[in-house]
Amino acid sequence: MSDGRALAREFLEQQRLLGGEPVILPDGPPPGATIASTPGLRPGSAQSPPVDSARLTSSDTPGIPQSRPPAGGSDLPPPGLSYDPPGGDLFSNDPVPQAATLDAIAGLVAGCTKCRLCEGRRTTVPGEGAGDARLVVVGEGPGRVEDETGRPFVGPAGELLTKILGAIELPRERVFICNVVKCRPPDNRQPQFDEIAACVPYLFRQIEIVKPKVILAMGGTAAQTLLNTKQSLGALRNQVHRFRGVPVIVTYHPAALLRNPNWKKPTWDDVRIARRLID
């Protein structure tokens, strides 16, 4: 691949992580594939940037300090969108609204065949963390390592997320972490609309069960799904949105931060807002 083409692909992928539409390159991927299907751009994927997680310290994550500064100040961003989807029908045959615990949801996900993503998965990745978490982190979907381990946000991007959470004094185990779709899309492509529509009742029920004080939407897919919008990530940042009344803060996906360190400072600004809302 030429340098120019590699740069173009890099730029387009960054736009996708910001919430832009997938773009088809004319002479690149096979017919039908989109730039979003380029492997290596998701946490744990085979071609993820060669980041040595042991080196992910405050010195190379400028703007993300190791400890939280005083919360002080009430300069919260203005209110944004509000999305209040109807809950599931408790009297239908759908077991999702009747699932009373996160384990029950995970059990349903483990046997789910509601969309084509079940065909290529090794294991489902329902999410993990505290059932009474004050913060729920939502990403896009499992990558390669997640698919192998059944755990969300592992690999370099996951380790960066752990550091980000540590910087606001929220140990990873005290947060509930999950994705919009629970099975890995082939070649790490972006989940398609019908796949998200099939899977999102699990996410919505998980949020209902956890009852967090704040939701952190990481990446365009998570933000657009939780807020039922096509607005870009850039347009959605710096506002306090609501999902069923719960504040939603939109920020970059850790995989995007590994590719563009310039986004670490804005991400730190976003997570500080989330922390203030939790406090």
Residues near ligand SF4 (CB under 6 A) are 109, 112-115, 117-118, 124, 181-183, 195, 198-199
Minimum CB separation from ligand SF4 for residue 76, in Å?
A: 34
Between residues 124 and 162, which has the closer beta carbon with respect to ligand SF4? 124
Between residues 151 and 237, which has the closer beta carbon with respect to ligand SF4? 151
Residues 6 or more apart in contact with residue 59 via CB below 8 angstroms: none
Q: Crossing angle for the helix pair 220-227 and 193-210, nearest 10 degrees?
A: 70
CA 169, CA 279: separation in Å to the nearest integer? 11
Q: Crossing angle for the helix pair 156-167 and 264-278, nearest 10 degrees?
A: 50
Minimum CB separation from ligand SF4 for residue 39, in Å?
A: 18
CA 83, CA 73: separation in Å to the nearest integer? 27
**Tokens coding 59:** 């010195």
Between residues 192 and 232, which has the closer beta carbon with respect to ligand SF4? 192
**Tokens coding 256:** 């995007």
Q: What residues pair up with 151 in beta bridges, in sequence order? A: none
Q: For residues 115-140, b (16+ Cβ closer than 10 Å) or e, as one string? A: bebbeebebbbbbbbbeebbbbbbbb
Minimum CB separation from ligand SF4 for residue 214, in Å?
A: 24
Minimum CB separation from ligand SF4 for residue 191, in Å?
A: 7
Minimum CB separation from ligand SF4 for residue 72, in Å?
A: 41
Q: What residues pair up with 257 in beta bridges, in sequence order? A: none
DSSP strand pairing (79-83 vs 135-139): unpaired
Between residues 218 and 240, which has the closer beta carbon with respect to ligand SF4? 218
Between residues 60 and 194, which has the closer beta carbon with respect to ligand SF4? 194
Minimum CB separation from ligand SF4 for residue 117, in Å?
A: 4
Between residues 58 and 113, which has the closer beta carbon with respect to ligand SF4? 113
